[in-house]
A and B are shown apart, each in its own frame.
Chain A
Amino acid sequence: MVTPEVRFLAAEKIPTLLKRLGERYRVFAPVKVSETTVLFQEYREGVQIVLDRQTTAPAKEIIFPQTERLLSYTYRKDPEDPQKIELQVEEAPQSAPRTIIFGARPCDARGFRVFDSVFTAGPYEDPYYSSRRQQTTIVTIFCTQPQNTCFCTSVGTGPTDTEGSDLVLTPITEGYLAEAITEKGKELLQDEAFVSAQERVEEAQRAKEGIKLESELDLEGIPQRLMELFSTDFWERVSAKCISCGACTYLCPTCYCFNITDEAAGLEGERVRTWDSCMFYQYTLEASGHNPRPTKAERYRNRVGHKFSYHPINYEGMIGCCGCGRCIKSCPVSLDIRQVLREAKAYG
């Protein structure tokens, strides 16, 4: 039997669906962890799933963990000749379990597409990221109610963008219309929770058409514009209130910069990769004491420049931002990247 590519998923069936999928996959879903916080967590029975708002943190750490082991090493002394030291190095496994991210948003999916351009396109491929990415199925919910910090349509995606997702869900009466985008998505539709969509297709179509988020930023020419502003005092001005806390980078679905450090325990230890942030002084600090980005003005210039100039120039126009607005919502000093881009256009 060929499974149709469009099915209906009743909202009340979601817990049992996730439970069944949990037998074959690691399943992550947005879970209410406090009155104000919703985070992707591994699904367990009884948790409260929240599908009608954006998660507080994006889905990125499911595929790109905040900390992960790259290698393990062991030094062995030769008892016959204590001067002689042997070294063994082992790679951390690059085989990932099959994983589902249920309830992502188009901006989450876009975030992974930005990661893909860097980590999987070569010339050097990141095997840890790639294996997890390949094993992950992304189930995305279209955004019927974008927030006032959302600007995804301005950066080349949007509340009904299917790119990067495997299965997309359109909220309708009592549930969701589910459409498979990829083979991985089709595979999920075989679960019995997905039933014939029949007359609901039309309602879903109307719902999709009803989702509106006007593009609010004119980013035409912005890659060149930011380069023109490189040596001006623009960056000092716009970053004046920044406190270099790095919240914007940690909560950003497209920020992928990382550090590699060794953690030693006696004669053995691990080489680990951790998220890093270009907003920190130490990020570019050299052993000589020289720092090419010594103040927050250069660092903020790099963050905005990377997303809106360097990444699009290096990757065929793809803006390195998904417009989720988390950096705006979570900034303790209310620095708004949209405003910075608008001012960049008008400056001077």
Chain B
Amino acid sequence: MASIPNPYLPQIGTVVKVIQETSNIKSLQVVLNDQERMNSFRFEPGQVAQLSVFGVGEATFVINSPPTRTEHLQFSVMRAGEVTARIHQLKEGDPIGVRGPLGNWFPYEEMKGKDILFIGGGIGMAPLRTLLLFMLDNRSDYGKITLLYGARTPDDLCYKEELQQWGQRDDMELILTVDREFPGWEKKVGLVPNVLRELAPSPKDKVAITCGPPIMIRFTLQALAELGFGDEQVVTTLERRMKCGVGLCGRCNIGTKYVCADGPVFTLAQLKELPPEL
């Protein structure tokens, strides 16, 4: 009998670095123990993987390091449930299971030559980081790049070191915002959708990519529509409770589509084809 690749079998990796991003978000940098598999691990920006802590379980996270930087795979994990609480206890040198890459990816080929507007909120910055770094590594393929990123408080912003670097680059624009005034905070104050309205970017030759808490996404989509962005110009990524990650276990469907296998990346036009069950 021909042997079938086992979609449930994770690769064993090692946590090589843990970064405390915010009070409840950590980034883990992981390398696969099998050097050959690490070297041949190919993925596209926006794809996800299942991280395993054996004895507790698995959960899905976007690979937020870009495929153009292959020394490790990075995942950012917000502590929310059982598996993420256990992942937060991992330290450098600890083993971890990695099952992936899974799902679809950002349509970056179709974005070539266009201006790019990233709109992120909180942990929603993770998938945007992948694509942003990928685009910065292929800078000449894209037009103007803008990142609007917000969080509740300055401490809740992820990737603080990179935010500083991005803010200094002259080939991209960075706008940071927090929900209310904080001592020492000199950037914008206000909710992401409101800051977006204030910035009023033109939709001409532009793609908007947004990810964040559901409530932020909802109002951001509204603001983008007001600004004249068409449904094809807006891209987002969805989250759902997942188990198998490969479209078999049933739970993450929205109508006929499985977020794990057919997503997690959808254009607003594709989302509008689906029944309203977010």
Contact = CB atoms under 8 A, between A and B. Distances in A.
Interface of A: 70-71, 73, 75, 83-89, 91, 94-95, 118-119, 123-127, 130-131, 134, 227, 230-231, 256-262, 264, 269, 271, 273, 276, 278, 283-288, 290, 292-293, 298, 302, 305-306, 309-310, 313-314
B7 A124 contact: yes
A265 to B, nearest CB: 9
A119 B54 contact: no
30 contacts: A87-B12, A91-B9, A124-B248, A125-B4, A126-B7, A126-B248, A127-B3, A127-B4, A227-B275, A230-B276, A257-B251, A258-B248, A258-B249, A260-B243, A262-B55, A262-B57, A269-B54, A271-B54, A273-B8, A284-B241, A285-B241, A286-B240, A286-B241, A287-B59, A287-B81, A292-B240, A292-B254, A302-B277, A305-B255, A310-B255
A119 B241 contact: no
Given A227-B255, A257-B251, A293-B277, A89 B12 contact: yes
B240 A284 contact: yes
B100 to A, nearest CB: 12
Nearest to B55: A264
B258 to A, nearest CB: 9
A86 B3 CA distance: 27
B121 interface: no
Contact of B256 (A91, A260, A314): A314
Interface string B20-62: 0000000000000000000000000000000000111111000
Interface stretch (B68-76, B91-99, B182-190, B221-229): B91-99
Contact of A260 (B6, B214, B249): B249
Contact of B80 (A84, A258, A287): A287
Nearest to A282: B241
A83, A119, A287 — which one has the most chain B CB atoms within 10 A of its CB? A287
Contacts of B248: 118-119, 124, 126, 256, 258
Contacts of A127: 3-7
Contacts of B93: 83-85
Interface centre among B54, B58, B240, B278 (most CB of A within 10 A): B54
A89 B80 contact: no
Nearest to B7: A124
Contacts of B5: 125, 127
A70 B52 CA distance: 14
Interface of B: 1, 3-10, 12, 54-59, 80-84, 93-95, 97, 214, 239-241, 243-244, 246-256, 261, 275-278
A244 to B, nearest CB: 15
Contacts of B54: 73, 75, 87, 89, 262, 264, 269, 271
Contacts of A309: 255-256
B250 A73 contact: no
Given A124-B247, A230-B275, 10 more contacts: A95-B1, A124-B248, A127-B3, A131-B1, A231-B275, A257-B249, A276-B251, A292-B254, A298-B277, A314-B256
A95 B261 CA distance: 27
Contacts of B80: 287-288
Contacts of B255: 227, 230, 305, 309-310
A53 B247 CA distance: 35
B55 A269 contact: yes
A83 B59 CA distance: 25
A257 B243 CA distance: 10
Nearest to A223: B256
Contacts of A231: 275-276
Contact of B8 (A87, A271, A310): A271
A71 B256 contact: no
Contacts of A264: 54-56
A257 B6 contact: no
Contact of B246 (A124, A262, A284, A290): A124
Nearest to A134: B1
Of A258, A269, A309, chain B has the most CB atoms within 10 Å of the CB of A258
A89 B6 contact: no
A83 B15 CA distance: 13
B246 A292 contact: no
B249 A276 contact: yes
Given A91-B9, A127-B6, A130-B4, A306 B253 contact: yes
A194 B39 CA distance: 58
Contacts of B278: 292
Contacts of A298: 277
Contacts of A95: 1
A260 B58 contact: yes
A314 B81 CA distance: 32
Given A292-B277, A298-B277, A85 B94 contact: yes
B56 to A, nearest CB: 6
A309 B254 CA distance: 12
Contacts of A293: 277
A94 B6 contact: yes
B251 A310 contact: no
B6 A258 contact: no
Contacts of A302: 253, 277
B86 to A, nearest CB: 10
